[in-house]
Structure 1
Amino acid sequence: MKNLTTSKFMKLAQFCLCVFFLINFNSCTEEDDITPLGSEETLNVETEALVPNSITLTSGCEYRIVPEFNNVIFPAKNYTWTAQPAELVDFTVEPLTFAVTVQTIAEGNVTLTLASDDGEVSASVQVIIDDESDGILKILAIGNSFSEDALEAYFWGLANAEGKQVVVGNMYIGGANLDTHLSSASSDSNNYSYRKIDLDGTRTVTSNFSISEAVADENWDYISFQQASYESGLFDTFINPLPSLYNIVRGHNPNPCTKYILHKTWAYAQNSTHSGFANYNNDQMTMFNGIIDAYTLAENLIPTTMVIPAATAIQNGRTSFLGDGFTRDGYHLNDLGKYTASCTWYEMLFGESVIGNSYEPDGISDYYQGLAQQAAHEAALNPNEITILVDYENPGGNGIISEPVFINFSSSDNPDGWNAYTSHLDGGGIPNILYSNGDFTGVTATTTARFRGINNTSGAGSSTTDFNMDDSVSRSNFYSHALAWGSNPPLEESVIEFTGFESNDTYEFCFFGSRNGVSDNRDTKYTVIGATEQSANLDAANNATNTVCISNVQPDANGKITLRVSAGDANTNGNQFYYINAMKIAPQ
């Protein structure tokens, strides 16, 4: 608001009052006895401005100072900010409130002075600029399993490979939405699991932690918020809790230079069975578009420095030949999905392309790393638009398996040389089976009748077989049950189809199944159907040494071989659980 003299203000007020009388009483002249609205002595004009005496900031920090003026809501006078010495800061001024946003440049002390143009009102603040110079990026996420997926598995490795030092904190409550976080923050409840990755990559988990403890634990550069996945595309669910949560967290935070960001989480796979998918008519694109719209609006609810477009990175990846092959259960990410999300965080926080990053995560081939990096990079460039990954639409393969391939039925910790079969749901699978060297076979595996679930820890802790399995492979399994199990209806068989074979060559299919810590028989039947039908049985109970094989398996006329997994006749379990942990396909 520009300066308005008292005499002009009085004439304007008298004119307005005259108009009022003309409308209501049809009379108003200069001679009428009108009581003045005020005099120069009583008019509401500020006589004092208040700012902090001093603040301490780090170099490269952005900080907003809002002056307070007595007697008025908005200042009546015009003001100018100056800095001495000027070269240590940049600043911008808001014309109505004269709030100043300071960008610190270099270490030193600066006096910022606010002065009215008439010289009658002034105030100063000492800005002490420390060069923190520890070179460590510190990020605290307030989230749930989706922040776990995005930050805990691969982000540290991506940063470390490029010589960057990071500390990662994740305040975890499973399935927590913003309302849950607000409730916990309001009472400062110690109901969080605090997961922390230190400078050396060591991950620790501390139970019974509170928001105030986590915020005070480090001098955080970034603190992120996110909505729970099932409400991530519903903007109304952000409106009340997000600003309140931000205010509480900021009130606990001793670091005035912390930047606050939002983590834009991903849409569910189209085959997801999550109950929250109904919020989007069980449609992936409806959910994705809702997420884009909701976070675009939500970033204006708090002072948001950036939005991490993990949703867009995953959706970009889905334009490749992998399709929905980024989740392990239709909504949580598998290893490749986690790596893709971490690449997105890396590019956004460090402001540099992740393409070509030298980190080599176990179990993710170079080709898949490149795909994930490209998906993340395009998301950083176009955070609200899907980019088709044209270079990854068809990876190749001739449809003839010329050397053994190995499949690991697990949602995580896939070792090098193995194909990760990460989703147990209908439509899950492996879009193009890999050889151990990372080349593609051109053969696809797809689940056409689901398994009940995945158990990553119930199999043999170690094994001695001709598969030469890593312990992570023997421990994990897909399982189902031929009889009802609690409220779960029976699954008499679970089915995988292998398609894309381009010759009449014959193959050997071998299987390993294991369930530790049981005393009954868990006989599992593996039936392979191609040009002919053959079966083999294996008792999975406490198995660490045995595999079974079916030889002379030939594709049918359509290039397809079907695997049916079911309970065997010798199975004595009350629910007739059956298992598959690993398999091998080898040419004969």
Structure 2
Amino acid sequence: MYGAESTGGKTVHLLTVGNSFSHNATHYLGDLARASGDTLVLHEDNVGGASMELHWGKAEAADAHPGDKAGVYTGSKSLKDDLAGGHWDFVTIQQASIKSHDIKTYRPFAKELSDYIKKYAPDTTLLIHETWEYRVDDPRFSQKAPAPGEPKSQDEMYQGLSSAYSTISKELGLQRLPVGDAFHIANHDSKWEYHAPQPPFDAKSAASGTLPDQTHSLNVGWSWKKQPDGTTKLTMDGHHASMAGEYLGACVWYEVMFGKDVEKNTFVPQGLDPEYAKFLRETAHRAVQEAK
């Protein structure tokens, strides 16, 4: 159950136990809340690249040696401290995206975290954040001979993560934040999907500042980044969410947590095409409804 739609303002207290993907998905969540007269109170126990195993290891370290740096997050508090020290309407967990297709990496850590969170925050609603597939032209999918079990394509990565998250959520009786489903729907829409450049973008010979057409990319993709020595370097990030991807993820989280149809929300990030934003809200709504 995702909750009934309400007409008045609602305050949601949210704790995320994840990594940069949780940060991506909540980037615009407060803006969506404010646009409908709601309020988000967010605390992030996120660690870059963190897996469920890493978060469980931090919880164990904190219990074994309180105050040890290995067991604390920003602010020198452990997960137990944060769980017990506040009222949380929702707590979220997620798997590291690079491992998301492999259900073996969730066990036993998803259950350990779930039990731990329910012990120290018994009144919260625990959600599992389904992360997303990488961009179709991410270097992960260009390997001629990928390691055994590694997804060979965007679709194969999605099928793996979708199956893993669905299985674990059912095993643990958790609600799922279907961001990965929303990304997959958007990435396969005949009008709004991202099309990798053909022929492929030649990064080695690209002139400074030159980028391929990345219209409708839900991931950061190619960008020029300033280096410590003042030069710029061309980088590829097919993992993290772009503005559009962050908006799509936040729309999913908003509809689930605030119980309102995000299609009716008026917030659109500056620089995002309003018609594209409308499609992303519709996609988020569809993903949430299909996940019930």
SS in 2 for 1:261: strand
Q: 1:312 aligns with which of 181, 199, 204?
A: 181
Aligned to 1:285: 155
Structure 1 residue 193, shift from structure 2 partner: 8.4
Q: 1:142 aligns with which of 17, 21, 24?
A: 17
Amino acid in structure 2 at the alignment position of 1:155: L
Aligned to 2:234: none
- The answer as to 2:247 corresponding to 1:326 is no
Provide the C-alpha distance between the structure 2 equivalents of 1:147 and 1:363, rounded to a whole number of angstroms. Answer: 22
Provide the C-alpha distance between the structure 1 equivalents of 2:261 and 2:18, rounded to a whole number of angstroms. Answer: 26
Cα distance change, pair 163–155 in 1 and its aligned pair in 2 (3 A):
same
Q: Is the 8 A contact 1:136 1:164 kept in 2?
A: yes
Aligned to 2:65: none
Provide the C-alpha distance between the structure 2 equivalents of 1:348 and 1:280, rounded to a whole number of angstroms. Answer: 31
Aligned to 1:183: 57
Aligned to 2:139: 273
Structure 1 residue 219, shift from structure 2 partner: 0.2
SS in 2 for 1:220: coil
SS in 1 for 2:287: helix
Q: Which has the higher helix share?
A: 2
Structure 1 residue 327, shift from structure 2 partner: 0.2
Runs of 4+ with >6 A deviation: none
Q: TM-score, normalized by length of structure 1?
A: 0.38
Cα distance change, pair 300–319 in 1 and its aligned pair in 2 (3 A):
closer
- The answer as to 2:47 corresponding to 1:173 is yes
Amino acid in structure 1 at the alignment position of 2:33: A
RCO (CA 8 Å, sep 6+): is it higher in 1 or 2?
2
SS in 1 for 2:42: strand
Provide the C-alpha distance between the structure 2 equivalents of 1:211 and 1:174, rounded to a whole number of angstroms. Answer: 16
Q: 1:349 aligns with which of 257, 262, 285?
A: 257
SS in 2 for 1:166: strand
Provide the C-alpha distance between the structure 1 equivalents of 2:140 and 2:253, rounded to a whole number of angstroms. Answer: 25
- The answer as to 2:236 corresponding to 1:236 is no
Cα distance change, pair 228–383 in 1 and its aligned pair in 2 (3 A):
same
Amino acid in structure 2 at the alignment position of 1:213: D
Cα distance change, pair 274–173 in 1 and its aligned pair in 2 (3 A):
farther
Provide the C-alpha distance between the structure 1 equivalents of 2:139 and 2:76, rounded to a whole number of angstroms. Answer: 31
Q: Is the 8 A contact 1:269 1:331 kept in 2?
A: yes
- The answer as to 2:160 corresponding to 1:301 is no
Provide the C-alpha distance between the structure 2 equivalents of 1:146 and 1:214, rounded to a whole number of angstroms. Answer: 20
User: Deviation digits for residues 194-218 of structure 1, max 9, x if unmatched?
Assistant: 6xxxxxxxxxxx4443212221342
Q: TM-score, normalized by length of structure 2?
A: 0.74
Q: Is the 8 A contact 1:159 1:346 kept in 2?
A: yes
Provide the C-alpha distance between the structure 2 equivalents of 1:374 and 1:234, rounded to a whole number of angstroms. Answer: 29
- The answer as to 2:94 corresponding to 1:226 is yes
Amino acid in structure 1 at the alignment position of 2:185: N
SS in 1 for 2:268: coil
**1:57-72 equivalence runs, <5 A:** none
Q: Which has the higher strand share?
A: 1
Q: Is the 8 A contact 2:58 2:72 kept in 1?
A: no
Q: Is the 8 A contact 2:100 2:131 kept in 1?
A: yes
Q: Is the 8 A contact 1:191 1:207 kept in 2?
A: no
SS in 1 for 2:172: coil
Aligned to 1:340: 248
- The answer as to 2:214 corresponding to 1:214 is no
Cα distance change, pair 284–184 in 1 and its aligned pair in 2 (3 A):
same
Provide the C-alpha distance between the structure 1 equivalents of 2:141 and 2:129, rounded to a whole number of angstroms. Answer: 22
Structure 1 residue 162, shift from structure 2 partner: 0.2
Provide the C-alpha distance between the structure 1 equivalents of 2:83 and 2:243, rounded to a whole number of angstroms. Answer: 29
Q: Is the 8 A contact 2:10 2:258 kept in 1?
A: no
SS in 2 for 1:233: coil
Amino acid in structure 2 at the alignment position of 1:302: L
Q: Is the 8 A contact 2:89 2:124 kept in 1?
A: yes
Q: 1:373 aligns with which of 267, 281, 290?
A: 281
Where does the alignment leave 5 or more consecutive residues of structure 2 unmatched? 1-8, 63-67, 195-216, 221-236
Structure 1 residue 135, shift from structure 2 partner: 4.3
Amino acid in structure 1 at the alignment position of 2:164: A
**Higher Cα Rg, which structure:** 1
Where does the alignment leave 5 or more consecutive residues of structure 1 unmatched? 1-133, 195-205, 385-588
Structure 1 residue 285, shift from structure 2 partner: 0.8
Provide the C-alpha distance between the structure 1 equivalents of 2:97 and 2:241, rounded to a whole number of angstroms. Answer: 12
Structure 1 residue 371, shift from structure 2 partner: 1.6
Structure 1 residue 251, shift from structure 2 partner: 2.8
- The answer as to 2:128 corresponding to 1:262 is yes
Cα distance change, pair 191–167 in 1 and its aligned pair in 2 (3 A):
farther
Structure 1 residue 171, shift from structure 2 partner: 0.9
Amino acid in structure 1 at the alignment position of 2:186: G
Cα distance change, pair 339–241 in 1 and its aligned pair in 2 (3 A):
same
**1:306-455 equivalence runs, <5 A:** 306-320=175-189, 321-324=191-194, 325-328=217-220, 329-383=237-291
Provide the C-alpha distance between the structure 1 equivalents of 2:165 and 2:275, rounded to a whole number of angstroms. Answer: 31
Cα distance change, pair 368–192 in 1 and its aligned pair in 2 (3 A):
farther
Provide the C-alpha distance between the structure 1 equivalents of 2:72 and 2:29, rounded to a whole number of angstroms. Answer: 19
Cα distance change, pair 281–185 in 1 and its aligned pair in 2 (3 A):
same
SS in 2 for 1:332: strand
Provide the C-alpha distance between the structure 1 equivalents of 2:53 and 2:250, rounded to a whole number of angstroms. Answer: 26
